[in-house]
Amino acid sequence: MGKLRSMDRQYYVYILTNRLRGSLYIGVTNDLIRRVWEHRSGAVSGFTNKYRLRRLVHFEDCGEIMVAMEREKRLKRWRRAWKIDLIERENPQWRDLYPELVESDG
C-alpha cells in the first residue's frame, strides 16, 4: 500500500468495498482523499453509490497517470480471489483506511 505524497502530482489506484469480502470497486485518482470522500458522501452516482461502497481497503501510489491507469486495468482483470489476497496481505481486517488518510494529511 502506498503513502500519500504531496510533493508532486501523484496518482493512486484504490479499492473500495461495503463490508468484509463484499463488493469491490477499483478506481484511479490524483486526489485520493477528495475522491474517497466523494464516494462516501454519495456524490458519485453509479456502482459505488448503488452498493454503498464507502470503505477504502487498499490503495497504491503509482506516481504517473499512465502507470496508474495501467495498474487499474490490470487489477480489474484479476480474479476476485487475487484481489482479496492483495487486500488481505496488508489489511487482513479490511479496516477502513480513509480516517487514517484524513488524519495523516491534516
pLDDT over 90 percentage in the chain? 86
- Domain holding 23: CATH number? 3.40.1440
What letter does residue 7 receive in the DSSP assignment? S
Check whether 79 has a pLDDT greater than 60. yes
Check whether 62 has a pLDDT greater than 60. yes
pTM over 0.85: yes
What strands, in cross-sheet order, belong to the sheet with 12-17? 24-29, 12-17, 55-61
- Does residue 5 fall inside a structural domain? no
Overall number of domains in the chain:
1
pLDDT the model gives residue 5: 54
What letter does residue 16 receive in the DSSP assignment? E
- Does residue 2 fall inside a structural domain? no
Q: What's the chain's average pLDDT?
A: 92
Check whether 99 has a pLDDT greater than 70. yes
What letter does residue 14 receive in the DSSP assignment? E
pLDDT the model gives residue 96: 98
- Does residue 23 fall inside a structural domain? yes
- Does residue 6 fall inside a structural domain? no
Residue 24: which domain range? 12-105
- Does residue 46 fall inside a structural domain? yes
